[in-house]
Amino acid sequence: MRAKQRKDYHPHDFEEPLAGLSDELVNDDAYRDASAAGFDAVPNDAGGSQAESIADLWIGHARKYAKLVPGRISETLSDAANEAESAPEADADSIAAAIDAKLEALRSSITRYAEPPWGAGNQGYGTALETSAVLIVWQLGADEDHCDDCLGLADGSPYAKGQIPTWPKAGDTQCFDNCYCSIVADEDTWNQAFGGNE
């Protein structure tokens, strides 16, 4: 009986199907819409080019990391295929199943680029608040397990213009881009600026 010939899988085996993925992961319009919505939530004349600049920053940041995703996926899939191939009863179906399982495990890290651009909206809103001299409050997200950085940012609220050191999901906190905290307006300074409820 002939010994089974083993195939070695390499990352380049998966490059063609993943070509263009990094471009598809980042939706520029969603970032622009989120930044503009943040500005629009504050009744002042801020926005326009400022909202565009904030969106461009977030788009650039997201694209930088999205470009690395296809290579990371290719390497992970080739490792999974090689591991499945080395099993005594390996066949095309078992190798395909191993690749599918690995893709499913990677789903959350891949799809995070397609999430609503939370940070761009928060930064747009916070920047518009600063323009109106409204103090900024870092509001903790619904998750009960907050990182120390976010707890500290919440405790340090409210922030005057230029004082807030980062924005939710910017990647500067210990929870990196998994942050779901929010920027909200300080009620007293909002009422002073606009004479009503936020």
- State pLDDT tens for residues 85-127: 888 888 888 888 888 888 888 877 676 665 668 899 999 999 9
Residue 89, judged by CB atoms within 10 A of its CB (0-12, 13-18, 19+), counts as exposed
**End-to-end C-alpha distance for the chain, whole angstroms:** 78
Domain contains 122 = no
Same domain, 150 and 98: no
**Mean pLDDT on 159-174:** 93
Domain contains 126 = no
Same domain, 82 and 30: yes
Using a cut of 0.85, tell me whether the model's pTM lies above it.
no
**Angle in degrees, CA 167, 168, 170, rounded to 5:** 70
Same domain, 83 and 166: no
Domain contains 160 = yes
Domain contains 3 = no
Residue 159: domain span? 133-198
User: pLDDT digit string (tens) for 31-72?
Assistant: 999 999 999 999 987 667 899 999 999 999 888 888 888 888
Domain contains 193 = yes
Same domain, 85 and 138: no
Same domain, 30 and 66: yes
Token reading at 171: 């990647």
Same domain, 17 and 97: yes
Say how many CA atoms lie within 13 Å of 140 toward its Cβ: 15
The rounded distance, in Å, linking the Cα atoms of 37 and 185 is 15
Same domain, 35 and 109: yes
Same domain, 139 and 175: yes
The rounded distance, in Å, linking the Cα atoms of 18 and 91 is 23
Same domain, 108 and 155: no
Same domain, 146 and 99: no
End residue of a domain, out of 92, 117, 142 = 117
Q: Tokens 């070695």 — which residue?
A: 8
| Length of the chain (residues) | 198
Domain contains 28 = yes
Mean pLDDT rounded to a whole number for the chain: 86
Same domain, 62 and 103: yes
Domain contains 4 = no
Same domain, 196 and 147: yes
**Mean pLDDT on 8-31:** 84
What's the domain count of the chain? 2
- CA distances for 186 relative to 58, 86, 122, 126, 198, angstroms: 25, 60, 14, 11, 9
pLDDT at 113: 62
